[in-house]
Amino acid sequence: MPSPALTHRLAHPQDLDTLRALMNAAIAELQKPFLDERQIMSSRTIMGLDTQLIEDRTYFVVESGGQIAGCGGWSRRATLYGSDKSPGRSPALLDPTLDAARVRAMYTHPDHARQGIGRLILGLCEAAARSEGFSAVELMATMAGEPLYRACGYQAIERIDDDRGGVAVPLVRMRKRL
């Protein structure tokens, strides 16, 4: 059977429970080839949903057969990564003439991995950021995310370890010109 066509729309607050469950599954399963169990547990502190993106109408969901199969968004605000609960967030608005827009919180349900959902959402984010005058995008990638972003033209600019969850989690800051 061919896979149902993918459709997309902006996320609504009513999607929150589904999005949280999808993110939990993606964090637990799709990071396994890249991190050990302690790192995956630690990564939960610095990953997850930032509901500001839904309020800002910059967060997308992709549906397959009427079910949410993936999500991700972009931001015109300074926070580079993390969830509502992550420390060090900043809602300050970026300047499109000086700053890079952010790509944020990209997750695909494990049942739908490697079907082009991440690539589709990245394209939506880049087009939206470009339409608001940004000429570059930046993100902080997990090891699970890095291959997607590389495949979509992003380049690594800095590697860090984030140990705010108790165990160091490797991350890479990446950038693309639009």
Residues found near ligand COA in the complex (CB under 6 A): 26-27, 30-31, 70, 106-108, 113-119, 141-142, 144-145, 147-148, 151
Nearest 10 degrees: CA dihedral of 167, 75, 143, 27?
70
Query: Which CB sits closer to ligand COA, 3 or 95?
Result: 3
Helix ranges restricted to H, the chain: 16-30, 37-43, 51-55, 117-131, 146-151
Q: In whole angstroms, how close is the CB of 82 to ligand COA at the nearest point?
A: 11
Strands 67-75, 59-64: pairing kind: antiparallel
Query: Which CB sits closer to ligand COA, 11 or 148?
Result: 148
Query: Which CB sits closer to ligand COA, 95 or 119?
Result: 119
Tokens 């394209």 found at: 123
Query: Which CB sits closer to ligand COA, 69 or 94?
Result: 69
Q: In whole angstroms, how close is the CB of 173 to ligand COA at the nearest point?
A: 11
d(CA 118, CA 106): 7
Tokens 């639009």 found at: 178
Query: Which CB sits closer to ligand COA, 65 or 133?
Result: 65
Q: In whole angstroms, how close is the CB of 100 to ligand COA at the nearest point?
A: 15
Q: In whole angstroms, how close is the CB of 165 to ligand COA at the nearest point?
A: 14
d(CA 85, CA 135): 29
Under DSSP, the state recorded for 87 is: S
Q: In whole angstroms, how close is the CB of 97 to ligand COA at the nearest point?
A: 26
